[in-house]
Amino acid sequence: MFGRLGAPEIILILVVIILLFGAKKLPDMARSLGKSARILKSEAKAMKDDGSNSTTAPADPPAPGEQAPSQRTIQAAPGDVTSSRPVAEPTDTTKR
């Protein structure tokens, strides 16, 4: 039933979307969707890199008087400094 979408159906869907959201908002929506995708990709890559680093050598917990770096900056795209934001690193609350 839904697997047979032809050109007339796709055109009708696009016309309905333009009527609902308006032609002026569509570029902004596409831009924000692209930024979200870039952020998700960079976060997934950071998590993958953190996971590979933790499996090779376990990290020692910081000494009680020692302060671990608590923030790092994640950029949405290379060279895009307007969307950079500091991110707090998660703390390990598990008891061994």
Encode 32-92 in three state secondary structure.
HHHHHHHHHHHHHHHHHHHHHHHHHCCCCCCCCCCCCCCEEEECCCCCCCCCCEEEECCCC
Which has the closest alpha carbon to 75: 42, 27, 41, 45? 42
Establish if 12 belongs to a structural domain.
no
The 10s digit of each residue's pLDDT in 18-49 is 888 887 888 888 899 999 999 999 999 998 88
Residue 67 resides in a domain: no
In a domain, 45, yes or no: yes
Of the two residues 66 and 17, the one the predictor is more confident about is 17
H or E segment to which residue 28 belongs: helix 26-56
Residue 31: the pLDDT is 92
Lowest mean per-residue pLDDT among 10-14, 18-22, 38-42, 55-59: 55-59
Q: Exposed/middle/buried for 76, CB within 10 Å: 0-12, 13-18, 19+?
A: buried
Domain membership flag for residue 32: yes
Number of folded domains that form the chain: 1
**Domain range for 29:** 24-54
Between 48 and 1, residue with greater pLDDT = 48
